C-alpha cells in the first residue's frame, strides 16, 4: 500500500497526460460565430445537436465531420432568437435525419455551476498538498514540531549485562540504579535517594552507550536516547524548549532512563567562549540544569550521560544533585579483552588454531569497539578468501589493518629504500630484544601500511597502571632505534622516523613538564589536558618564566640525548643481530616473534633443536609401537630416550 501511495502522484500525472492526448487526437472542439456557422451549414451536414432557447439567443451544441481531417468536431454557436432562425436551424440540423434535442437553459442549478467551477481547483489543491507533505514541507505542522524533543524512545531494550564485557566494576556501580527502577519503594522507605544522574567518562569505543542500554534492558524500562548536538539550533530558545519537552515526555513514561551521548556538545563551561555567554548553547544548558535539579522534581527519571571530555563540562552540571556519580569506563585490560572477544566471537566460526587468550595478548590498548572490528575484519578476510572458518592468519592481518590500515602490496621499493626500511625496523626490533624495560617484539614487517613504510608490533611485557621513569626512557630509546640504525649503517638519516620523533618528543616533554621526572623537581609546568577554551585562555600568560622554559628545553634535550647514546651503544654491541634481522626482513618482508627469537638464539628462522613428530614416526614405524605420550615437538634427547625405551622393550 505504501508503494502505491509513493507512485500515486506519478500515476495521476500520467493519466491526465494520456487522457488529454487521446482527447486531442480523436476529437476537437471549436466555438463558431454566427456567420461562420451559416457558411459551414452550406458545406457539410451536422450530427445530433442540442439547442437551448433563451429569450434573446439560441445556444446550439453538436458535431460535424471535418472534410480534411475526417475527424469529428464538436462545436458550439450562439444564434439570435428569431422565428426565421429557429425554422432555419430546424431545417439545417435535421438534413441528415439527425436528432435535435431541446433543453431548458435554466435546468442547471446555481449550486451545480458553482461546484463545476470549484472542483478542479480543489483537486489541484489536494494534489499539491500531497506533494508538499511527501517532500517534508508540511507547513505549519513542521513549525509546531520544531521545538519538540528529538529523543528517540526504545522500549524492551534487548541489551543485557551479559552483552557488556570487560567492565565488571562499572556494572557494580549501576546495579543500584537497576534496583531502584525495578522497586523504588524499598529505597524511599529507607530514606535513600538514587543518583539523579550518572556521568560515564572514558575514551571512545569503551562501551559507555552499550552499558547505558544494558541498564535499561536489565531494569526493563523505556530508554530515551539523544545526542548533545540535537539540542542546539541556530534559533535561540529552541534547545531549551527541547529540553523541557524531553523531560515532560519522559515524565509520562517514568520510571525511565534518559541517555545523553556526547553531553560536552551542550554542557561546556559557561562564559568560556569569545562571543559572550548569552547564546543558544548556554540557554540550553541553563534549562538542563533546572530540569535536573531545580524547581521541579523529576521522580523516576535517571539521566545517564557519556563524554570523553569531562574537563570541559560546567561545574554546575557536575555537582551533587545533578550528576551525583561519575563512572570511568577505561580501556580493558587483558582479562577484559578476553571477555570482550568471547562476546563478539559467539557468532563467528573460528578455526581450531585461534585462541582468545592469544588475541587478547596481542591487542593491548584496544577498546571494545576495536576488538569487535578485529573479529569483523577477520571474518571479512575469511569470506574474501572463500574459507569456511576464520584462521589465525586472518585475525593477524585484521589486527594490522585496525592499527595501521591495509597493506599496500602494490607499492614497490627501490633496492636502496628496501634495505633502508629493513634496517630501520630491525633497529626497533633489536632495542626491544636487548633493552630490559622495552616492549616485546611481536611482529616486524617492511610491507607498507597507511602512512608507514613498515612497522613493529610491540606489546608491553606486562600491563601496568603506572609507569616508572626507566620504562619511559626505554620507550624513547626504542623509538630512536630505527633512526639510529640508519645513522650506523648508512651514515645518514631519512624522514621515515617522523612519527617516532613526534612520539618520543611528547614523552620527553611530559616527563619534564607533567610527571616531574627531571632535575627541575616535582613541579608541573603544563596542563596535561591542554588549553580547552580559546576564549578563556587567550589572554592568559605562561605558567612559567622564560628562564624556566629554557631549563625545560635543556632537560628535554638531555633526556633524548641520553636515550640516543644508549640506543647507539646497544645497536653497536649487537651489530651482527641487527644485520641478521635486516637481511631476513629484506628476504621475507615479515617476521613473527618466534622467528625473531630464533634469529637471536640460533641465527636462523627455525629452531634446529626441534624435531617434528612426523620425522619420529618414520623412524619407529617398523617397530609398530609408538613411544607413550610423544609430544608434537620435543628435544632430540627426549626422543632418543623414548627410542631407547622402545628398543629395550623389543629386546626383552
Residue of 377, 425, 486, 589 marked catalytic: 425
Report how far residue 576's alpha carbon sits from residue 584's, in angstroms, rounded to the nearest whole number: 12
Are 177 and 136 within 8 A, CB to CB? Answer: no
Three cell numbers at 472?
619511559
Task: Please name the helix (run of DSSP H) or strand (run of DSSP E) that holds residue 114, with its range, or none.
Answer: helix 110-134
Q: Considering just the CA atoms, what is the radius of gyration of the chain in Å?
A: 43
Rounded to the nearest angstrom, the gap between the alpha carbon of residue 613 and the centroid of all alpha carbons in its chain is 49
What DSSP state is assigned to residue 492? S
Could you write out the three-class secondary structure of 160-186? CHHHCCCCHHHHHHHHHHHHHHHCCHH
**DSSP H helical segments within 448-537, as ranges?**
469-490, 498-513, 534-537
425 is catalytic: yes
Report how far residue 304's alpha carbon sits from residue 297's, in angstroms, rounded to the nearest whole number: 17
Total residues belonging to the chain: 652
Beta bridge partners of 102: 51
In the sheet that holds 440-445, the strands lie side by side as 455-459, 440-445, 590-592
49: which residues sit within 8 A by CB, 6+ positions away?
60, 61, 62, 63, 93, 98, 99, 100, 101
Are 389 and 349 within 8 A, CB to CB? Answer: yes
71: which residues sit within 8 A by CB, 6+ positions away?
26, 27, 28, 65
Residue 249, CA distances (Å) to 285, 287, 412 in order: 18, 15, 61
Give the residue numbers marked as catalytic: 425
Amino acid at each position: 500500500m505504501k508503494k502505491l501511495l509513493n507512485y500515486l502522484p506519478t500515476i495521476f500525472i500520467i493519466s491526465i497526460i494520456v487522457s488529454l492526448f487521446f482527447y486531442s487526437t480523436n476529437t476537437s472542439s471549436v466555438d463558431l460565430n454566427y456567420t461562420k456557422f451559416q457558411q459551414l451549414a452550406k458545406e457539410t451536414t451536422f450530427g445530433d445537436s442540442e439547442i437551448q432557447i433563451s429569450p434573446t439567443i439560441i445556444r446550439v451544441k453538436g458535431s460535424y465531420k471535418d472534410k480534411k481531417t475526417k475527424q469529428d468536431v464538436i462545436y458550439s454557436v450562439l444564434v439570435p432568437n428569431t422565428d426565421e432562425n429557429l425554422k432555419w436551424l430546424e431545417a439545417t440540423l435535421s438534413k441528415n435525419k439527425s436528432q435535435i434535442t431541446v433543453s431548458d437553459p435554466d435546468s442547471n442549478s446555481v449550486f451545480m455551476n458553482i461546484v463545476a467551477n470549484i472542483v478542479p481547483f480543489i483537486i489541484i489543491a489536494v494534489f499539491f498538498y500531497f506533494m508538499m507533505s511527501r517532500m517534508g514541507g508540511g507547513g505549519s505542522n513542521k513549525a509546531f514540531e520544531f521545538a519538540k524533543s528529538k529523543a528517540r524512545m526504545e522500549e524492551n531494550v534487548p541489551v543485557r549485562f551479559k552483552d557488556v564485557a570487560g567492565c565488571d566494576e562499572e556494572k557494580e556501580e549501576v546495579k543500584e540504579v537497576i534496583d531502584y527502577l525495578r522497586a523504588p519503594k524499598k529505597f524511599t522507605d529507607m530514606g535513600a535517594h538514587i543518583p539523579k544522574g550518572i556521568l560515564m567518562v572514558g575514551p571512545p569505543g569503551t562501551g559507555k552507550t552499550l552499558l547505558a542500554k544494558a541498564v535499561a534492558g536489565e531494569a526493563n524500562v523505556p530508554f530515551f536516547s539523544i545526542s548533545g548536538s540535537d539540542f542546539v539550533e541556530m534559533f535561540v530558545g529552541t534547545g531549551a524548549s527541547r529540553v523541557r519537552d524531553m523531560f515532560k515526555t519522559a515524565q509520562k513514561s517514568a520510571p525511565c532512563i534518559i541517555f545523553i551521548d556526547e553531553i560536552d556538545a551542550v554542557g561546556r563551561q559557561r562564559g568560556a567562549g569569545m562571543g559572550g555567554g548569552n547564546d543558544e548553547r548556554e540557554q540550553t544548558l541553563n534549562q538542563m540544569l533546572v530540569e535536573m535539579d531545580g524547581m521541579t522534581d523529576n521522580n523516576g527519571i535517571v539521566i545517564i550521560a557519556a563524554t570523553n571530555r569531562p574537563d570541559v563540562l560546567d561545574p554546575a552540571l557536575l555537582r551533587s544533585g545533578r550528576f551525583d556519580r561519575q563512572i570511568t569506563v577505561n580501556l580493558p585490560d587483558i582479562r577484559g579483552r578476553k571477555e570482550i572477544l568471547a562476546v563478539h566471537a559467539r557468532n563467528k566460526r573460528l578455526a581450531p588454531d585461534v585462541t582468545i587468550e592469544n588475541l587478547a595478548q596481542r591487542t593491548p590498548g584496544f577498546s571494545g569497539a576495536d576488538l569487535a572490528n578485529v573479529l569483523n575484519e577477520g571474518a571479512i578476510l575469511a569470506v574474501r578468501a572463500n574459507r569456511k572458518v576464520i584462521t589465525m592468519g586472518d585475525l593477524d592481518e585484521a589486527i594490522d589493518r585496525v592499527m595501521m590500515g591495509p597493506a599496500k602490496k602494490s607499492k614497490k621499493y627501490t633496492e636502496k629504500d628496501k634495505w633502508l626500511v629493513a634496517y630501520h625496523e630491525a633497529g626497533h626490533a633489536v632495542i626491544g630484544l636487548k633493552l630490559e624495560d622495552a616492549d616485546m617484539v611481536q611482529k616486524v614487517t617492511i610491507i607498507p601500511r597507511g602512512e608507514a613504510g613498515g612497522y613493529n608490533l610491540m606489546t608491553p611485557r606486562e600491563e601496568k597502571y603506572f609507569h616508572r621513569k626507566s620504562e619511559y626512557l626505554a620507550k624513547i630509546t626504542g623509538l630512536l632505534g630505527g633512526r639510529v640504525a640508519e645513522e650506523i649503517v648508512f651514515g645518514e638519516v631519512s624522514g621515515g622516523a617522523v612519527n617516532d620523533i613526534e612520539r618520543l618528543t611528547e614523552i620527553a616533554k611530559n616527563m619534564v613538564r607533567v610527571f616531574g621526572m627531571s632535575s627541575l623537581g616535582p613541579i608541573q609546568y603544563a596542563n596535561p589536558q591542554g588549553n580547552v577554551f580559546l576564549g578563556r585562555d587567550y589572554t592568559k600568560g605562561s605558567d612559567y618564566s622564560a628562564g624556566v622554559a629554557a631549563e625545560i628545553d635543556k632537560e628535554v634535550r638531555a633526556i633524548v640525548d641520553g636515550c640516543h647514546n644508549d640506543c647507539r651503544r646497544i645497536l653497536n654491541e649487537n651489530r651482527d643481530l641487527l644485520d641478521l634481522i635486516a637481511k631476513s626482513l629484506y628476504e621475507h618482508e615479515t617476521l613473527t616473534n618466534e622467528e625473531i627469537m630464533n634469529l637471536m638464539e640460533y641465527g636462523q628462522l627455525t629452531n634446529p633443536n626441534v624435531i617434528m613428530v612426523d620425522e619420529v614416526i618414520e623412524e619407529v614405524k617398523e617397530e609398530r609401537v609408538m613411544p607413550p605420550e610423544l609430544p608434537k615437538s620435543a628435544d632430540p634427547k627426549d626422543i632418543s630416550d623414548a627410542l631407547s625405551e622402545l628398543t629395550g622393550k623389543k629386546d626383552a
